[in-house]
Structures are given as C-alpha cells and as structure tokens.
C-alpha cells in the first residue's frame, strides 16, 4: 500500500514536519507519537499536507484571482481589509477539494470510525505552516469546526478551514509578522472530538502569564467547551501548581480562584457542523471548581512533561472528556510573550496620585495608560475607532485585532486572564482590564480615563488622566550587599512580580493581609457561626464558605494557599511568616468578629500577639493558623517557611506558645522548622539571652520597640511629635538586640521602614552588623544601593554568592 500524498496520521508526523502540516498539527503529532508513553493523552487524528492546499488552488486555477483580491491591500484600512478578505475566502471556498484529496480525507475518516466507533464526532482545526512558532503565535487566526459527522459535512468543514486562511485577522497578522500570503499553506487537523461539552476544558501555561514567573503552571478552566475561555465570554476558574515542589514529590494545588463561569458551550441537539451554543451554567456548577485537585495535578504534570520535551515555556489547550473521564491535550504551542521578557531589566509603572475608580477587573500586564474612552458594541463600529483611544467593549474576538493594536488600553466586561483580549493585550504590550462586569454601562464614550494594571491582580479604571511615571532598573548592575536585603510582603497577588527584585527572601510576610482580603471573617466566627449574633454576618459567612466542608477548612485552605504563593514565589529563599498580629479592634472589624473580641481602651498594648495564642478566647483560632502553616510546609512542601511569633512579652509566655505549637504539629527543629520572634518589647532586649534559647532568630520591629521604649502611643496623633525611631535610646535597644543575637548565634534582622526613610538609620544598622533588613518592595532598590555605598565606606565587599 502506497503512502498517502495529501494526508498524514498523527503517529507519522512530528515537529520536523511544520512545513508539511503546520505548527499545530506537527505539535499534535509530536505529542501523540513521542509523549503518549509518558501519560500524555492526545486524541488520534490526521492532517492534510501543505501540498494538498497548493494542489487545491492549482487545480481550480485560483491563484491569479487570489493575488488580484489582495493586491495593493492596506491592512490598516479596516473596511477595505474586510472587503478583500471576504473575496479571498470566497475564491478559496469556491475552489472545492479535488477528488484525489477528498478520497484520502474520507479514508482517514473511516480509520477514525474504526478506532472510535461509527458515531465518532470530529474536531476540524486549521494549522497554518507558519503558526505556533517560538517567535510568532497565530492563535485563533483561522477557524475550528466542532462536532462534525458524516463525509459530506467533513469535506465542507475542510473547505471552510482552507478559506479561513484569509480571515481579516489572519491577513493582518501575516502582514505584521512579515509573512508572504502565497508562501504559507494551510493544513487541516482532523481528530476525534473530546466531549468536553459534558465536562470541562481550558488552557494551561507553564509560567505565570502576567509576571513571567517560570516556577508555576497556571491552569484556567470552565465547564463545557474551551472557546468561551479563549473568546473571553466567561470568567474561568484558575489554579496554580508549583513546579519545584511537584518535582520533589509533593502533590498540592498552590493556589486557586473560582470564576463566575456564567455560561458554558455545549453541542446543539442533532448538530452536525460547528453546531454549538451557550447555555447558562447551572448554579451548582458555577459555585464549584470545574476540576478536582487530582485533575489539576494530573494536568500540571502533563504540562511540565510537555515543557521539558519542547525545552521552552508552553501554551497548552486541554479538554476533559465527559464520557471516559480522561484529560486530553488538544494543542500545545510555544508561549511567545511572558517568556521573552528580559529577566535582568525591571520596568515599573507608578501612579503619582489617585482618582475615582470607575471600574475594576483582572489586570493584564503591569502598565498604565491614558486615553479617551471609545465604546464598541459590534464589529461594524470598528472602523470608527481611533489610535490612542481606550477600547471599551463586552468581549473581543480575533476579528478585533487590527484595532486592538492601536488602542492605548483595553477594558472588557467579560473574560479572564487567558481570554482573547488578555492574550492579545499581552502580546501587544497594551494594559487591559478584563472581566469588569459592567464597563460598557458605567463608562461613557469620550471621557478621559487612566487604565492601571500596576497595582497587583486587580486592574483599575480611574476617572481622568492620572499622572504616572516609569522606573527602569538593570538588575545585573546591582551587586549583593554583605547585609542581606529582604522584602516585606503580605499580598500574594504581588508575590511573583516582587520576586524579580534583588532580594534574599521575605523578612516579613504579614498573615493579617491574607486574613483580611482573602478570608474576611474572624477565625472564631468561622468555627462557631452559631455564636455570631448579626444575621447579615452569618449569611455572609455561609456564602463565603460555600463549597467547603466547614469554616475551618475554608480558613486553612485560603490561608495556606496565600502564604504558599508567597513562599513559592521566593523558593528556596527563606520566607518569614508572622503569625496573626491583629489588635482587638482590628479582629473585631472582621466579619462576625465583634462578639469574640473585648473592647479595650488601648488595643496597641492589649490582647495581641502571643498572649492570644494559648488563651481560651483564641486558642481554637490559633490552631487554625497552625494547621494552615503545617499544610504549607508538610503537604505543599514549602519548607522555606520560617514562623515568627509577634509581641512575645515574657519568656514563660514564649515557652507556653511553643509547647502549644508542638501539640499542633509544629515542633521547632522538626523537618527543619525554624521559629523566630519579633523583638519589639524592651523585655525582649533585656532578657535576650533567655529568649535566644527558645528561638532561631529575632526580627526587630522598630515601630513597637520605639513605642515602648519612648512610652509613645503610635496611634495617638497628639504625641506623634515624640515618636522617633532614631532616638538614641531606641538605637541603643537595637544595638543590644543585634549584639545579643550574635552572641547567641541566632539571626538578627529588622523589618520596618526606618532604613528606607532615613539613610542615617540604614548606616547605623550596617555599622552594628545586623544580618538583614526587610523592606517594602518600593524601597528595595534604593536602599540596596545605599547599603552598598555604606559597606564600601566601611571596607566591606559585596557578596559573591550566585
């Protein structure tokens, strides 16, 4: 039997065949033939060849007409582009498919029916011979047809695929990339369709798409077929898995976020060709994740296998079959945006002021832009868009790309971080805020806006043109001081991006930030909702914990994933996590907290820190904190986490709390666990030798130490003039603490803004030999440079460690 000339099955093609079957089909063949043995599932199928495409045009004598249709085209003239592209598609579709090609296609279809059964439905997908290359992504440029059954419908889908090589977006993209329209062919991938319409689907990236952080797999998913995610029609679920700990054998989801998933795409009853439609997602499905932890981890493992095989970060499409329960990989291409950023240069956008926030959504990128709002409701209005405007719309599709490249910023009602608008915005370097829910109704055409994606995971649209500036730093030019420079961080959303700063780890991870922003409720209220008197608060707690076994599991998972994200971002550097240090008035402001907290005249000196941990009023809450930290270290494998106790008043108190931690599974020294204490009470300094026997290090809290050394309530504006961290008495306390740590062979650090705000304080800390300073991210670079200068004056050389 002679080999087919115009079609090739997946088991006979690989990445060396891009010129024959296009990047998409070559990759499917590569995975099917090379990675199946490693547990990567790819639906079987076959591809038409580039020769088939050229033969189709030649047989119909269509080349001259096609060239004439595109001659003199200006792709920036949207109206002309649309007209010419439509004519080109008519020419290609009208060329038909010669019998010698169609017979091979039908023969391949018969083989798939023999393998999967006569009722097998097909996915018919386009694969251009210049797409999915490391330097050029043609994602979504051509058409896909789903649920195709029967030979006639298959051949018609193939004709439509051929014609889609000349969609407006595909033509525009080729011009931008410098590709010749007539040297590129289109290969068609014909494969078993995965029944994700009765399960779930989505995309996976082998890095974080916003920051370029490469130690995680990011998975987005939703119920039904994946087109809704790519098109931005829904807000999907998101999951992160940490690669280094996964490779070390740990199996835990690092972080997750549930999406609204308002609609899902399903097959239409009796449909035969691309016959799908959206239905409202049932409430029960909207409120639960579309993948189990087991599926997330299986998919992350597959993504890492694919990345290793290709040797570069990858953009992967997956689909879970609702019939056999298997997760299939239906596409894998090189990631072409985040992975190409320079790791040695940091460009930071900083707002100079603030204004009214008119809309919020998911931030795409980390830039800020100004522009006049232009609301576009449909394709017919695209020609009205002017360069430099802010594109405001419900959602985007590939047809919108010609105007998206001219936008100052993009704002959509719908979509997540892997939707079409987000993917294109990243590639273009345009800030985008997606999934606002209501931008088209709350914003007005013509109004001046500032779109900011420089404030973490939440993107904001401000009224007017708010001033901003950029800061560029070449990291390779900054040496490492002998004094270690660490960062203060409480926001997991900023962790990946912040990790690129020159640093020696996290000197203070504030647990309170995660409890306030991600958990929102008082730990005791979660444990005992029946004791919450306020009915509205009880209802809100019920809503918060929906989908969890109980309030305790909600707290432990949310807190562990927040801290875990910070620990993963800086892995394997140390991350010092301070156990909760709310004051009673701050605890009371948490949802349901009022009934669990006493009223104090001076909460700053009251029931706070270590005194709470073994007290009957909060002992159960502390147990939840410890359970979360135990999960981070033991189940997630992030043993770079160091625990720190705040406001430890007495040695006896420290002994009791450490014993309580041991009862809860956190024994100092076990599995390398280190426990620090905050040094912020004069008694900590006076009895430093006794405290040092119980802890592995001290972090000097200059704010509280100043308050208690000078007797100044730092919450009181009346005596604020007497609050000064540079007072000689405070500096002497710090010196004695550093000397005590050195004498006892334990770590000394300071977590506070004093060395950032006052150069003389930074000099003092270096002079007395402190081991580390922990600073807010915005002052790391300037303080690092200052410390290097001080050390040079003292004759100390920068560190040479890698």
Q: What is the mean pLDDT of the chain?
A: 91
Q: Torsion angle of alpha carbons 419, 420, 426, 427, nearest 10°?
A: 150
Per-residue pLDDT tens for 369-402?
999 999 999 888 988 999 999 999 998 876 787 7
What confidence score (pLDDT) does residue 140 get? Answer: 52
- List b or e across 205-230, with b for residues whose CB sees 16 or more CB atoms inside 10 angstroms: bbbbbbbbbbbbbbbbbbbbbbbbbb
Q: For every residue of 776-793, which 3-state class applies, written as one string?
A: CHHHHHHHHHHHHHHHHH
State the Cα angle at 776 between 239 and 501, rounded to 5°: 65
Across residues 725-753, what is the average pLDDT? Answer: 95
Beginning with the edge strand found earlier in the chain, give each strand of the sheet holding 186-192 in spatial order: 7-9, 45-48, 186-192, 122-128, 144-148
Q: pLDDT band for position 611 (50/70/90)?
A: very high
Is 0.75 topped by the overall pTM? yes
Least Cα distance to 43 among 323, 419, 423 occurs for 323
Residue 136 DSSP code: B
What confidence score (pLDDT) does residue 270 get? Answer: 57
On whether the CB atoms of residues 562 and 625 are closer than 8 A, the answer is no
3-state SS class at 111: helix
What confidence score (pLDDT) does residue 130 get? Answer: 65
Q: What are the C-alpha distances in Å from 381 to residues 391, 435, 656?
A: 12, 21, 69
Percent of all residues in the chain with a pLDDT value above 90, rounded to a whole number? 73
- CA 593: distance to chain centroid? 31
The secondary structure element, H or E, covering residue 7 is strand 7-9
| Parallel, antiparallel or unpaired: strands 7-9 and 45-48 | antiparallel
- Encoded tokens for 141: 């440029």
Asked whether residue 314 carries a pLDDT value surpassing 60, the answer given is yes
Expressed in angstroms, the distance from the first to the final Cα of the chain is 60
The secondary structure element, H or E, covering residue 189 is strand 186-192
Per-residue pLDDT tens for 13-42?
999 999 999 989 999 999 999 999 999 999
Report the C-alpha gap between 493 and 566 in whole angstroms.
Answer: 9
Which residues are CB-contacts of 228 (< 8 A; sequence separation ≥ 6)? 222, 234, 263, 264, 265, 278
Query: Rounded to 5 degrees, what are φ and ψ at 286?
Result: -65, -30
Q: pLDDT band for position 777 (50/70/90)?
A: confident
Across residues 281-290, what is the average pLDDT? Answer: 92
Of the listed 420, 453, 741, 747, which one is catalytic? 420
| Parallel, antiparallel or unpaired: strands 409-412 and 432-434 | parallel
Report the C-alpha gap between 313 and 337 in whole angstroms.
Answer: 10
Query: DSSP labels for 611-675?
Result: HHHTSTTTHHHHHHHHHHHHIIIIIS--TTEEEEE-----HHHHHHHHHHHHHTT--TTGGG--E
3-state SS class at 363: strand
Q: Which residue has the higher pLDDT, 131 or 802?
A: 802
Which residues are CB-contacts of 68 (< 8 A; sequence separation ≥ 6)? none
State the Cα angle at 690 between 746 and 729, rounded to 5°: 80
Least Cα distance to 218 among 565, 506, 514 occurs for 565
Q: For every residue of 273-288, which 3-state class applies, written as one string?
A: CCCEEEEECCHHHHCC
420 is catalytic: yes
Report the C-alpha gap between 2 and 754 in whole angstroms.
Answer: 79
Of the listed 161, 419, 679, 751, which one is catalytic? 751
Per-residue pLDDT tens for 151-180?
999 999 999 999 999 998 889 888 888 889
What confidence score (pLDDT) does residue 366 get? Answer: 83
Q: Torsion angle of alpha carbons 731, 733, 736, 740, nearest 10°?
A: -130
On whether the CB atoms of residues 633 and 568 are closer than 8 A, the answer is no
Asked whether residue 3 carries a pLDDT value surpassing 80, the answer given is no
What confidence score (pLDDT) does residue 464 get? Answer: 96
Asked whether residue 2 carries a pLDDT value surpassing 70, the answer given is no
């Amino acid at each position: 039997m002679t080999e087919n000339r115009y079609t090739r099955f997946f088991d006979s093609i690989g990445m060396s065949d891009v010129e024959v079957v296009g990047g998409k089909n070559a990759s499917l063949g590569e995975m099917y033939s090379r990675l199946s043995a490693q547990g990567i599932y790819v639906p079987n199928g076959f591809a038409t060849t580039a020769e088939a495409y050229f033969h189709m045009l030649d047989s119909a004598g269509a080349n001259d007409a096609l060239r004439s249709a595109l001659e003199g085209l200006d792709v920036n003239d949207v109206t002309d582009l649309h007209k010419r592209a439509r004519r080109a598609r008519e020419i290609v579709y009208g060329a038909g498919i010669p019998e010698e090609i169609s017979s091979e296609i039908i023969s391949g279809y018969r083989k798939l029916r023999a393998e999967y059964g006569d009722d097998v439905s097909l996915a018919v997908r386009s694969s251009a011979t210049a797409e999915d290359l490391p330097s050029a992504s043609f994602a979504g440029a051509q058409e896909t047809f789903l649920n195709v059954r029967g030979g006639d419908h298959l051949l018609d889908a193939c004709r439509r695929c051929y014609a889609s090589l000349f969609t407006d977006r595909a033509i525009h993209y080729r011009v931008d990339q410098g590709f010749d329209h007539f040297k590129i062919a289109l290969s068609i991938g014909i494969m078993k369709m995965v029944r994700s319409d009765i399960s779930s689907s989505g995309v996976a990236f082998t890095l974080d798409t916003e920051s370029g952080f490469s130690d995680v797999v990011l998975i987005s998913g939703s119920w039904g077929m994946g087109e809704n995610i790519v098109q931005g029609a829904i807000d999907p679920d998101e999951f992160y898995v940490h690669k280094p700990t996964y490779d070390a054998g740990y199996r835990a989801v690092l972080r997750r976020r549930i999406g609204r998933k308002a609609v899902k795409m399903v097959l239409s009853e009796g449909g035969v060709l691309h016959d799908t439609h959206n239905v409202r997602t049932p409430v029960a499905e909207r409120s639960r994740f579309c993948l189990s932890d087991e599926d997330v981890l299986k998919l992350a493992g597959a993504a890492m296998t694919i990345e290793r095989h290709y040797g570069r970060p990858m953009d992967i499409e997956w689909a879970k079959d609702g019939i056999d329960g298997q997760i299939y990989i239906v596409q894998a291409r090189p990631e072409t945006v985040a992975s190409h950023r320079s790791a040695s240069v940091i460009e930071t956008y900083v707002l100079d002021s603030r204004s009214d926030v008119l809309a919020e959504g998911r931030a795409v990128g980390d830039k800020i832009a100004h522009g006049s709002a232009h609301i576009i409701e449909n394709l017919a209005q695209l020609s009205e868009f002017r360069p430099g405007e802010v594109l405001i719309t419900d959602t985007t599709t590939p047809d919108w790309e010609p105007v998206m490249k001219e936008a100052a910023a993009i704002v959509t009602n719908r979509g997540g971080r892997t939707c079409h608008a987000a993917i294109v915005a990243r590639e273009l370097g345009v800030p985008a805020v997606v999934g606002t829910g209501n931008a088209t109704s709350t914003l007005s055409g013509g109004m001046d806006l500032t779109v900011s994606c420089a404030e973490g995971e939440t993107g904001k649209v401000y009224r007017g043109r708010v001033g901003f500036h950029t800061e560029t730093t070449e990291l390779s030019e900054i040496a490492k001081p002998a004094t270690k420079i660490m960062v203060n961080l409480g926001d997991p959303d900023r962790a990946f991006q912040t990790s690129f700063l020159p640093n020696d780890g996290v000197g203070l991870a504030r647990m309170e930030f995660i409890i306030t922003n991600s958990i929102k409720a008082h730990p005791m209220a979660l444990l005992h909702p029946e004791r919450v008197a306020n009915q509205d608060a009880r209802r809100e707690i019920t809503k918060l914990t929906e989908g969890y076994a109980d309030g305790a599991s909600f707290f432990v998972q949310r807190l562990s994933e927040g801290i875990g994200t910070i620990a993963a971002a800086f892995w394997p550097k140390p991350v010092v996590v301070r156990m909760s240090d709310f004051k009673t008035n701050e605890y009371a402001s948490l949802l349901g907290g009022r009934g669990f907290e006493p009223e104090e005249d001076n909460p700053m000196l009251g029931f706070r820190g270590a005194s709470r941990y073994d007290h009957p009023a909060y002992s159960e809450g502390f147990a939840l904190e410890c359970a979360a930290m135990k999960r981070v270290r033991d189940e997630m494998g992030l043993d770079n986490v160091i625990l720190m106790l705040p406001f430890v008043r007495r040695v006896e108190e420290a002994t009791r709390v450490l014993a309580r931690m041991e009862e809860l599974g956190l024994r100092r020294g076990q599995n390398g666990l280190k426990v620090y204490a905050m040094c912020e009470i004069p008694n900590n300094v006076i009895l430093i030798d006794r405290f040092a026997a119980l802890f592995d290090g001290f972090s000097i809290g200059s704010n509280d130490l100043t308050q208690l050394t000078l007797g100044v309530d730092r919450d009181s504006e009346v005596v604020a003039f007497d609050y000064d961290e540079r007072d000689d008495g405070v500096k002497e306390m710090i010196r004695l603490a550093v000397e005590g740590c050195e004498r006892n062979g334990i770590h000394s650090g300071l977590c506070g803004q004093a060395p950032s705000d006052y150069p003389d304080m930074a000099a003092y800390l270096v002079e007395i030999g402190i081991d580390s300073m922990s600073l807010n991210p915005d002052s790391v670079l300037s303080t690092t440079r200052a410390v290097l200068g001080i050390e040079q004056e003292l004759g100390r050389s920068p560190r040479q460690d890698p």
